[in-house]
Amino acid sequence: MCGIVAYIGQREAYPIVLKGLKRLEYRGYDSAGVALINNGLQVYKKKGKVAELENHVSGKDMRSHIAIGHTRWATHGEPSDRNSHPHVSGNGKLAMIHNGIIENYAQLKQELLNQGHIFKSDTDTEVLTHFIEEIQKSNHCTLEEALRIALKRVVGAYVIVIVDEDNPDTLIAARKGSPLVIGVGKGEHFLASDASPIVEYTKEVVYVNDYEIAIIKADELILKNISNERQTPYIQKLDIELAAIEKGGYDHFMLKEIFEQPQTIFDSLRGRLDAKNGTLTIGGIREHAEMLSKAKRIIIVACGTSWHAGLVAEYMIEELCRIPVEVEYASEFRYRNPVVGPGDVIIAVSQSGETADTLVAIESAKEKGAIILGVCNVVGSSIARLSDAGAYTHAGPEIGVASTKAFTAQLAVLCLIGLKVAIVKGSITQQRFQHLLDELDHIPEKVAAVLKLNDRIKEIAAKYKDARDFLYLGRGYNFPVALEGALKLKEISYIHAEGYPAAEMKHGPIALVDENLPVVFVATRDSYYEKVVSNIQEIKARKGKVIAVVTEGDQVIPGMADDIIMVPEADELVAPILSVIPLQLLAYHIGVLKGFDVDKPRNLAKSVTVE
Ligand code: G6P
């Protein structure tokens, strides 16, 4: 979703901002723009890729020591040059970039239209720019003061950054709900929606909090709250390396991230799982394990791939802890006035830690007295900070829009949480606990074995890439894996794909089955295996093409299926971590073979920061 970059300091600002915009391309966007001060305010913006903006400004004098840049993901108004950011005030002096949504923009716009303002775009951002200008004019106040007054009237979520032609040595920024990171250099500052544009310049960062305004000069950073009180900037050290946000020899970030999984799963277990000594330590929930073991129910809220991880966790936690678990789409949970309050435990699962629906869902649950646990990947993210406790997934930066390594790390961490609660509660035997610790301990090497099947999966991808639809089926722990496989394919190959519980298939999707429909079965050996075999026969009887992910040594399904992918044997509770990997690779290869940009699929955003 929208990406924000800004720079102020001694260096040339435009190249830094441009490079930053390229680093943020992974978030998903449809237009880009920059503003700088060079003989007055200069604004350049273009629908399309950052490279098109780069061409558009080529040959222009872009020298400046202050600049703001933006990648836009359209919300108000179609993607177009005029709707792209930055937006400029009526007097042409202020330029603003914005991430988020101003919900009461229509009302503000009407007031401004009545006062004679003329708008050039359909955006809420331009309205806010004019609104601030109008306050500045009628109150004869500074930009900072006008911003403060404006934000008290604004409803919605935002990060904004403003440059002012009359103050070319100052950037002003504010945040509510959307993330803003400020990199602190020597005599320079870098601003961005996430750390990726900053990491090559400085490791010292400040995360701006909600309702804070930052006044940033080359050598000074002042933070104030909305009541104009100075706040102490808390400088944190970034723990990511530049290599983590580069492709490292792979064709795509998605492939790199799929192949990183033996390491990222290991990292998510490291320091927590000690299979040899039979112990499990999760520092982030240590003080809450007892409370969790007494929870009457657990509600998991998430979106997208993280929601699928939540579904697997439902099976894991119910089995291990005997606590009822509900898994909710964050957006639905928030707005249906759910029955939630003290005694409820909410687990928010989110790679980015910034997904707006998940964030507002936990905000409202927290207000009602629920305890919030966060399972996030991005350290210091909004959901992580709002949570009462939690565990990071430690998968490292995920750049490919289609989530892969974050999913398997989420499964690993949710399994650890389930095991911890179960052992505290006494709901599993010591023997089963030890067995599952051993199973998890061996998962990274088994994942590495699955990745060796890449060439075979590429052949299967070539065989089926022209199919119009796909069906993905699984039961039990493998049902959410089927959903995730279908989502991966949709996201990056634009082929229509549906995931279904294999038995439920008889109540509808079976009508789609003919010789043209590839049906992917996730059919590893588990307690549902015999039933899944029957479901495969039902598909074959109707001439469907079956691609099956099975356990090594399976003697039955290879005799029925058209294509087989064999993964190592694993306990059914941890098997999803293995069985999802062939589906990630299948989607990847089909997307690439069809010629699509798998890292930046159309219309999708990596981090969905609007509700
Ligand atoms: C977007 C991304 C998905 C992701 C979902 C939830 O739709 O494209 O890959 O699963 O958001 O994101 P989160 O950061 O909360 O896990």
Q: Which two three-digit tokens encode residue 138?
A: 């009628």
| Range of the structural domain that residue 372 is part of | 247-451
pLDDT at 108: 95
Residue 228, domain member (yes or no): yes
- Ligand 1 pocket residue status of 404, Cβ below 6 Å: no
- Ligand 1 pocket residue status of 331, Cβ below 6 Å: no
Task: State in Å: Cα 605 to ligand 1 middle.
Answer: 8
Q: Do 296 and 425 have their domain in common? A: yes
Residue 606, domain member (yes or no): no
Per cent of the chain over pLDDT 70 is 100
Q: Do 406 and 338 have their domain in common? A: yes
Catalytic residue chosen out of the listed positions 2, 303, 321, 376: 2
Q: Do 411 and 293 have their domain in common? A: yes
Residue 610, domain member (yes or no): no
**Whole-number average pLDDT of the chain:** 94
Maximum distance among all Cα pairs of the chain, rounded to whole angstroms: 81
Once rounded to an integer, what is the mean pLDDT over residues 494-521?
Answer: 93
Once rounded to an integer, what is the mean pLDDT over residues 133-151?
Answer: 95
- Ligand 1 pocket residue status of 170, Cβ below 6 Å: no
Ligand 1: which residue has its CA nearest to atom 7?
A: 304
- Ligand 1 pocket residue status of 377, Cβ below 6 Å: no
- Ligand 1 pocket residue status of 295, Cβ below 6 Å: no
pLDDT at 268: 96
Ligand 1: which residue has its CA nearest to atom 8?
A: 606
Instruction: Say which DSSP state 507 is in.
Output: G
Residue 57 has pLDDT above 80, yes or no: yes
Task: State in Å: Cα 406 to ligand 1 middle.
Answer: 10
3-state secondary structure 250-294: CCCHHHHHHHCHHHHHHHHHCCCEECCCCEECCHHHHHHHHHHHC
Q: Do 323 and 437 have their domain in common? A: yes
pLDDT per residue as tens digits for the range 425-477? 999 999 999 999 999 999 999 999 999 999 999 999 999 999 999 999 999 99
Of the three residues 195, 221, 243, the one that is the final residue of a domain is 243
Residue 607, domain member (yes or no): no
Of the three residues 399, 431, 451, the one that is the final residue of a domain is 451
pLDDT at 202: 96
Task: State in Å: Cα 463 to ligand 1 middle.
Answer: 29
Per-residue pLDDT band at 241 (split at 50, 70, 90): confident
- Ligand 1 pocket residue status of 305, Cβ below 6 Å: yes
- N- to C-terminal Cα separation, the chain: 12
pLDDT at 182: 97
The CATH number of the domain where 585 resides is what? 3.40.50.10490
Q: Do 24 and 68 have their domain in common? A: yes
In 429-523, DSSP assigns E strands to: 469-474, 496-501, 518-522
- Ligand 1 pocket residue status of 607, Cβ below 6 Å: yes
The alpha carbon dihedral of 460, 464, 262, 478 has a sign of: negative
pLDDT per residue as tens digits for the range 539-578? 999 999 999 999 999 999 999 999 999 999 999 999 999 9
Task: State in Å: Cα 562 to ligand 1 middle.
Answer: 33
C-alpha torsion 183→185→189→192, nearest 10: -20
Q: Which atom of ligand 1 is nearest to the CA of 305?
A: 10
For a mutational test of ligand 1's pocket, the pick from 29, 352, 392, 610, i.e. the residue with the most ligand atoms closer than 8 A to its C-beta, is 352
Q: Do 442 and 481 have their domain in common? A: no
Task: State in Å: Cα 303 to ligand 1 middle.
Answer: 6
- Ligand 1 pocket residue status of 351, Cβ below 6 Å: yes
pLDDT at 136: 96
Task: State in Å: Cα 411 to ligand 1 middle.
Answer: 15
Q: Do 316 and 224 have their domain in common? A: no
Q: Which atom of ligand 1 is nearest to the CA of 303?
A: 6
Task: State in Å: Cα 349 to ligand 1 middle.
Answer: 10
Number of structural domains in the chain: 3
Once rounded to an integer, what is the mean pLDDT over residues 501-525?
Answer: 93
- Ligand 1 pocket residue status of 604, Cβ below 6 Å: yes
Q: Do 322 and 459 have their domain in common? A: no
Residue 536, domain member (yes or no): yes
Q: Do 415 and 456 have their domain in common? A: no
Query: Model-level pTM?
Result: 0.85
pLDDT at 29: 86
Task: State in Å: Cα 302 to ligand 1 middle.
Answer: 9
Once rounded to an integer, what is the mean pLDDT over residues 44-60?
Answer: 95
Residue 515 has pLDDT above 80, yes or no: yes
Residue 50, domain member (yes or no): yes
pLDDT at 239: 80
Pairing of strands 220-225, 345-350: unpaired
Q: Which two three-digit tokens encode residue 507?
A: 């109540």
Burial of 116 (0-12, 13-18, 19+ CB in 10 A): exposed
Task: State in Å: Cα 380 to ligand 1 middle.
Answer: 17
pLDDT at 506: 87
- Ligand 1 pocket residue status of 401, Cβ below 6 Å: yes
pLDDT at 298: 96
Q: Do 447 and 457 have their domain in common? A: no
For a mutational test of ligand 1's pocket, the pick from 329, 383, 606, i.e. the residue with the most ligand atoms closer than 8 A to its C-beta, is 606
Per-residue pLDDT band at 340 (split at 50, 70, 90): very high
- Ligand 1 pocket residue status of 356, Cβ below 6 Å: no
Q: Which of 129-138, 184-193, 338-347, 440-449 has the lowest mean pLDDT?
A: 338-347
pLDDT at 76: 81
Cβ neighbours for 559, distance < 8 A, ≥ 6 positions apart: none
Residue 183 has pLDDT above 90, yes or no: yes
Q: Does the annotation mark 152 as catalytic?
A: no
pLDDT per residue as tens digits for the range 467-488? 999 999 999 999 999 999 999 9
Residue 503 has pLDDT above 80, yes or no: yes
Ligand 1: which residue has its CA nearest to atom 1?
A: 606
Per cent of the chain over pLDDT 90 is 86
* DSSP string computed for 41-101: EEEEEEES-HHHHHHHHTTS----SEEEEEEE--SSS-S-TTTSSPEE-TTS-EEEEEEEE
Q: Which atom of ligand 1 is nearest to the CA of 383?
A: 15
pLDDT at 609: 77
- Ligand 1 pocket residue status of 457, Cβ below 6 Å: no
Q: Does the annotation mark 376 as catalytic?
A: no
- Ligand 1 pocket residue status of 355, Cβ below 6 Å: yes
Residue 611, domain member (yes or no): no
539/558 Cα distance (integer angstroms): 14
Q: Which atom of ligand 1 is nearest to the CA of 491?
A: 8
200/183 Cα distance (integer angstroms): 10
At position 154, the amino acid (one-letter code) is V
Of the three residues 418, 451, 484, the one that is the final residue of a domain is 451
Work out the angle at residue 393's Cα, subtended by the Cα atoms of residues 174 and 263, and round it to the nearest 5 degrees: 125
At 306, give phi and psi (nearest 5°). -65, -30
pLDDT at 413: 98
Q: Do 266 and 399 have their domain in common? A: yes
The CATH number of the domain where 206 resides is what? 3.60.20.10
pLDDT at 574: 97
Residue 608, domain member (yes or no): no
Residue 166 has pLDDT above 90, yes or no: yes
Q: Do 339 and 237 have their domain in common? A: no
pLDDT at 165: 96
